[in-house]
Amino acid sequence: MNIYLALLGFATMVIITVVLLKKKMSILLAFTTIPLVAGIIALLINGQNFNVIGDWVTTGIGKTSDITLMMLFSLPYFMLMDDTGLFDDIVKAIMKRVPISAPVICILTVVVACIVELDGSITSVFLITVPLMLPLYEKFDIDKRVLPFLISVAILIMCNTPWNPKILRAATLFETPGASTHLFLKLLPIQIFMVLLLIAVAVFFGLRARKKHQGEVQVSNEELLAQFKDTELTRHNMFWVNLLLTAFLIFVLIAFQSIPQYYVFAFGLVVALAINFHDLGQQTKLLKKYAASLFPVAPAVLLSGVVVGVMQESGMLEAMVQALMAVVPSAIGPYLYIIIALFATPLMLLFTNDTWFYALMPLVISFSAKYGVPADVVIVTLFMNFGSMISVIAQPQLYIATDLTGISIDQHIKFSWLKLWAFNIAVVAFGVATGVFLP
C-alpha cells in the first residue's frame, strides 16, 4: 500500500467536499482543477511522466460522455412534454374522477409530484405541486408541513427514471451500456415499495386531518381543475400522440439496450419538436430555452469524469481502499455499504449530491468490490440519499417549497428529518430482505 497516495486521495475527497459545502468554489471549477492538482502530485509520488495525466483525464471523460449526451437530449424532451401540457392533462384526468377529501388530497399530492417529476426538474415539482395543492390543505385543515414532506419523498422515488439527472450521475460509476436503464430496472421493486409506503403515510396524514377537522368542506372538481392554466405552448390536441411517443421511447430504452440511450432521446426530441411545433423558428427558440436548464448540471456530470479518472488511474483510489481494508474489521467489510446506507439521511448533511456520488460512492464501490459486492449493488443501495431533502446545501430548491408553503426551512427540517430517516431504514431493510441490495 502506498500510504502517500492514500493520504492524497482522502485529502482530495475532503477538499472537494469542503469547498462545495462552503460554496467556496463552483462545481465546475472544483471538478476541473482539484483533481488536476492531485494528479500532478500523484505523478511526483509515482515518478511518472507528466504526459500520462492527459490519458487519465481522457479515460475519465470517456466514462461520463455518453451519460452527458443522454442528459443533453432527455431533459429537453421532458421539458417539452411538460410545456405541451402532457403531464397536466394526465393529472387533470385523475382529478376529474376522484372525490375530494383530506386523505385523497394527500394521495393526490404524491401522484401529482410523481407525474411532474417525470421531466427531471425538482424546481418545477415544487413550483407546480405546492400552489396547486396548498389551497386544499388550508381548506381541509391539513398540516402544511405535510405538503413539502410528501413532495420530497415523491421526488426521491421518481429520481429512479433512466433520464433523471440523479440516476445519470449514478450511471457514470457503472461501466456498462445502458447503465441508467439497468439501474432503473434494478431499483424498480424498491420504487414500487416506496410508492406504496408513501401512499400509506399520505392516507395516515389525511385521516388524522379529517379526524381533527370540525365540519364538512366542499370543494368541486371543477374548482380544482380551474387552477390549471394553458399557455401558447399547450397542445391538448397532441396529447395521445405525445403520450404514445413517450411510451415508445421508454419501451425502446428497456427492450433495446444496445441502442445508445442518447440517440433514443435525440430521436424523440427532434420528432416531438417537429410534430408539436411546425415553425422552425419556434423550435430553435424552445431549444435555446431548454439549453439554459442544462447548465451547470450537464457539464458537471461530464467533468466528474476527471475526478473519477484521475483518482482511479493514478492509483489513489486503490491505495485508499487498501488503507480502509487495514482499518475496517473484516467481519464488517462486506456490509460497510449497507451500514452507510442505513445512516444516509444524517450523513447527507455532510455532503452535496455531487460529492456523495463522486467522492464517497467510488471509494465505497472499490472497497466493496474486494469483498465480492458488484458495483451496481452498491450504487442502488446508496442511491436513495434521503438526507438531501432536508439539506439546503444538497437541495437548495427546498427554499422554494417552504416559501410557497408558508413555513420556515427549520420547520420543514424538524418535521421531516426523522420521518425521512425512518423511510431510509425501511427502504434499506426491504432491499436487503428482497435481495436487491445484496450480491
H or E element in which residue 219 lies = none
Provide the pLDDT for residue 377. 95
pLDDT tens-digit map of 67-87: 888 889 998 999 899 899 888
Largest CA distance in the chain: 79
Q: For residues 249 and 256, what is the distance between their CA atoms, to the nearest angstrom?
A: 10
- The DSSP symbol for 360 reads I
Average the pLDDT over each of 168-177, 208-217, 249-258, 340-349 and give the range with the smallest value: 208-217
Our count of domains for the chain comes to 1
Provide the pLDDT for residue 174. 85
The parent domain of residue 326 ranges over 3-434
H or E element in which residue 358 lies = none
Rounded average pLDDT over 346-350: 86
Rounded average pLDDT over 56-61: 90
Q: For residues 405 and 412, what is the distance between their CA atoms, to the nearest angstrom?
A: 10
Provide the pLDDT for residue 375. 93
Residue 213 has pLDDT above 80, yes or no: no
- Higher pLDDT: 257 or 108? It is 108
Which three cell numbers, joined as nine digits, stand for 40? 500532478
Provide the pLDDT for residue 217. 64
- The DSSP symbol for 357 reads I
pLDDT tens-digit map of 264-301: 999 999 999 999 999 999 999 999 988 888 887 888 88
Question: Which residue type occupies 231?
Answer: T
Report the mean per-residue pLDDT for the chain: 88
Residue 331 has pLDDT above 60, yes or no: yes
Q: For residues 288 and 368, what is the distance between their CA atoms, to the nearest angstrom?
A: 43
> ∠346-348-349 over CA atoms, to 5°?
75
Residue 250 belongs to a domain: yes
Report the Cα–Cα distance between both ends of the chain, in Å, rounded.
27
Rounded average pLDDT over 246-250: 93
- The CA distances from residue 252 to 82, 268, 305, in Å, are 21, 11, 27
Provide the pLDDT for residue 416. 93
Provide the pLDDT for residue 223. 67
Can you list the alpha helix ranges (DSSP code H) found in 292-397?
297-313, 316-327, 336-342, 344-347, 353-355, 361-369, 375-383
Q: For residues 360 and 354, what is the distance between their CA atoms, to the nearest angstrom?
A: 9
Residue 232 belongs to a domain: yes
**HEC letters along 125-169:** HHHHHHHHHHHHHHHCCCCCCHHHHHHHHHHHHHCCCCCCHHHHH
Nearest to 322 by CA among 10, 13, 52: 10
Are residues 89 and 239 in contact, defined by beta-carbon separation less than 8 angstroms? yes
Are residues 412 and 149 in contact, defined by beta-carbon separation less than 8 angstroms? yes
- By CB neighbour count within 10 A (0-12 exposed, 13-18 middle, 19+ buried), where does 160 fall? buried
Residue 220 has pLDDT above 70, yes or no: no
Give the confidence band of 392 by pLDDT, cuts at 50, 70, 90. Answer: confident
Q: For residues 338 and 382, what is the distance between their CA atoms, to the nearest angstrom?
A: 8
Residue 439 belongs to a domain: no
Residue 29 belongs to a domain: yes
Instruction: Examine residue 296 and say whether the peptide bond preceding it is cis (omega within 30 degrees of 0).
Output: yes
Rg (CA), the chain: 23
